[in-house]
Amino acid sequence: MSAHGSIRLIEENCTSCMICARECPTWCISLTSHQEKTVPAPGARPRTHNVLDTFEIDWSLCMYCGVCIEQCPTDALAWEQHHVGAAESLPDLAHGRAELAARGE
C-alpha cells in the first residue's frame, strides 16, 4: 500500500482518454464521456473532443498502487493526503466526480 492517502480527480485536466481505467490492475475506475464538436476559428473545420460525463473509483477494489496516476497523460489524477473513510456498505465506497474533486479543496 502506498504511503499516500487516496486519489483525487482534477476534472479540468481529464480528457476522458480512458487510459486510467484500462491500465488499472483491479478495474476499480469507470468513466463515461461523450463527444462534442467545437469550431476553433471562423472558417476552420469543426473538431471533436471528449467531455467527461461520469468518473468513479470503487475504493473497495482499489489497491492504491498509483498506476492510474502514473499513466495519466494529462495529470488529471493526483495523490491526496486524506484517506477514504470507512463505510456502512460496499456501494458507499464507490466515489464519483463530486467526491473525488472535493478531495483537493
pLDDT in tens, 39-94: 777 888 888 889 999 999 998 899 999 999 999 999 999 998 877 777 777 777 78
Q: How many CB atoms lie within 10 A of CB 68?
A: 21
Nearest-angstrom CA–CA distance, 4 and 22: 22
Q: What is the pLDDT of residues 3-52, one digit of tens each?
A: 577 888 999 999 999 999 999 999 999 999 999 988 777 888 888 889 99
Sheet-wide strand order for 94-95: 29-38, 47-58, 94-95
Of 60, 52, 3, 56, nearest in space to 26 by CA: 60
